[in-house]
Amino acid sequence: MNNLESCKKLNILPHNLSLKNRSFLQISGITDIENFNDQTVTAYTQQESLLITGENLHIKKLNLEQGELCLTGKIFALTYRGKGKSAKSKKSFFEKIFK
């Protein structure tokens, strides 16, 4: 059984990155995009969040049904942070304070 078959049985989107010349980033296994601008993109996988930082970032393709994200621009860093969005608290800090 290969990795793709294992992921399908566990209902997990396979997560892969392909970075070309620090200017074209293709990612699979994306479940959501929280925010984006020309310097940062916060994307979620089923396991954790991914912060992409750079300059002149532009989303060329986003297909959440297939879990695909393609970015162009100058990529400075890819940083995994904590848990995925499914594990993230549903309420923000301010929502918890101001009930």
Domain boundaries, the chain: 14-85
How high is the pLDDT of residue 13?
Answer: 76
Q: Render pLDDT for 43-96 as a digit per residue (tens, 0 to 9).
A: 999 889 999 999 999 999 999 999 999 999 999 999 998 865 554 444 455 555
What is residue 8's DSSP assignment?
A: H
For 31-44, what is each residue's pLDDT tens digit?
Answer: 999 999 999 999 99
- What is the structure's pLDDT at 11? 61
Closest CA to 27 of 73, 62, 79: 62
Predicted pLDDT of residue 87 = 42
Give the number of C-alpha atoms closer than 13 A to the C-alpha of residue 77, restricted to the C-beta side. 7
Tell which CATH classification among 2.60.40.2000, 1.20.1070.10, 2.60.40.10, 3.40.50.2000 matches the domain 14-85. Answer: 2.60.40.2000
Dist. CA 64–CA 53, nearest whole Å: 20
